[in-house]
Amino acid sequence: MALKFNGTDVPQSGEVRFNNTALAAVKMGATEVWKRQKTVYPGVPVANTQNLGYAAYFTVTNSGSDIKVDAFGGTERGYGRVMLGGFSTIGYSQIYFANLRAFITNSFSHIKVALSDINGNVVQQLIYSEANGFDTTYTASTKFNINSPNGNYYLMLEVESGATHLGKNATILMNGCYLI
C-alpha cells in the first residue's frame, strides 16, 4: 500500500521518517496505512546449493539481480535446489515476488518454492507443481501469507526434471522477492 503525504507518494520501498527515525509502518489511529517492504532478493546471497541428481543436468545462474535455477532432463534426471538467505520475517506477514516464472516441459518433473532451513527442509511451501506444461508467472499482485512470521528462513528454489532423451526442463526464473 502506497502512502500519499502532502501530495507526495511514498512507495512501500521508500522511507518515512519521524524525528529523524525511519519508520517500519505508519498508522492512522489504530489502522495501519503504510508498511515498508523488506527486500529479500536481490540482496541475500546464495547460502547453499544442493545437486540431488546428475551434476551436468542441474544449473544455477545468479547475476545478483536475476537468478535462474534449471533442471535438464537428459539421460539422467536433473534435480537440485538453491537456498537464498537467511533472512528474518519478524514484523512481516506476507511475501511476494516482483517477477517469478516457473515452468515445466517434462513429465516426471516438479518445481517448488518454499521457506526452508539452510538444508532445504521445508518450513512452508509457497509454490508447487508437477504438471507437464505448467508455466506460471507470479508478480506483486500474488501475495503469500507467512504462517510463522517470527522466524528466520531461507528461500528455497527447487527444480527436478525426469530423465528423458528429449532435453526437457523444469525452470525457475526470479528477479525480486519482498516481505511486507
pLDDT band, very low/low/confident/very high, at 91 (cuts 50, 70, 90): confident
pLDDT band, very low/low/confident/very high, at 163 (cuts 50, 70, 90): confident
pLDDT digits (tens, 9 = 90+) for 10-53: 666 566 677 887 666 778 888 877 777 899 999 999 999 999 98
Write down the mean pLDDT value for the chain.
89
Q: Identify the pLDDT of residue 95.
A: 96
pLDDT band, very low/low/confident/very high, at 69 (cuts 50, 70, 90): very high
Q: Identify the pLDDT of residue 22.
A: 66
Q: Identify the pLDDT of residue 10.
A: 66
Domain residue ranges in the chain: 3-36, 39-179
CATH number of the structural domain 39-179: 2.60.120
Residue 160: C-alpha distances to residues 100, 113, 163, 172 (Å):
17, 12, 10, 11
Q: Report the share of the chain in percent with pLDDT over 90.
A: 63
Q: Identify the pLDDT of residue 30.
A: 86
pLDDT digits (tens, 9 = 90+) for 136-162: 999 999 999 999 877 899 999 999 998
Three-class DSSP labels, 61-123: EECCCCEEEEEEECCCCEEEEEEEEEEECCCCCEEEECEEEEEECCCCCEEEEEEECCCCCEE
Which of 36, 142, 43, 42 lies closest to 92, judged by CA? 36
More confident residue, 151 or 115: 115
Average pLDDT over residues 56-85: 93
Amino acid at 127: I
Q: Report the share of the chain in percent with pLDDT over 70.
A: 90
Q: Identify the pLDDT of residue 150.
A: 77
